[in-house]
Chains A and B, each alone.
Chain A
């Protein structure tokens, strides 16, 4: 599979209302492209194309059962939020240490 940089941008991936709706549906339960196409009232090739964009953005996981492939929202992407918070927590802890040092210097 060829990964195109632009396609990996999750922001671009969900800029499309159909893809957002697909993610909504997949968040409820894992889905095949066919069932998503039906739910959205779009053609299967169109749904496949949307799914490809979501896959390249790393937003979905796939699971093969017999001849069918089920897609679900890749929850690990949500880790980003937790990572950010951990980073900022470390940032502020360090900065508050520096503040204490700075206050001691102000006093002298």
Chain B
């Protein structure tokens, strides 16, 4: 099971990209309305329109914040419990931004957390990933 990883080079200095990622106002402008604060362990939410199976609120906690390189926060809502990480690397005057959204494996309706520990370990760690990579190649 592959996580989502998107990398792109932005024609902006790293300090600027960092600012856009770590201020509540900037995040609201390009991502979603939020009460983010750049403080480790700060719990915050992103608000968006509800959808079937999703009440429109993403519950997050700042897991790691290392200026100006890495911002990592949990991302829970709509049945998923995942982790989002932004990594910023300086490339001359540009910035390479890598987003990863991880933790999707084992989160299907079929295998929620309550299923863990009843012989499902094998299913989660081997069978499901094998099945998914065979049927849904990236």
Contact indicator per residue, chain A 85-102, by CB within 8 Å of chain B (1) or not (0): 100110011011011111
Q: Is B99 an interface residue (CB 8 A)?
A: yes
Interface range on chain B (Cβ under 8 Å from partner)? 35 or more
Q: Are A92 and B6 in contact (CB under 8 A)?
A: yes
Q: List the count of A-B residue pairs having beta carbons below 8 Å apart.
A: 99
Q: Are A27 and B20 in contact (CB under 8 A)?
A: no
Q: Is B114 an interface residue (CB 8 A)?
A: yes
Q: Are B114 and A84 in contact (CB under 8 A)?
A: no
Number of interface residues of A (CB under 8 A): 35
Q: Nearest residue in A to B6 (C-beta to C-beta)? A: A92
A100–B16 Cα gap in the complex (Å)? 11
CB-contact partner of B132 in A15, A82, A92, A99, under 8 A: A82
- B80, B99, B109, B114: which has the most chain A beta carbons within 10 Å? B109
- Residues of B at the A interface (CB closer than 8 Å) are 1-2, 4, 6, 8, 10, 12, 16-17, 19-20, 26, 29-31, 80, 97, 99, 101, 104-105, 107-110, 112, 114-115, 118-120, 123, 127-128, 131-132, 135-136
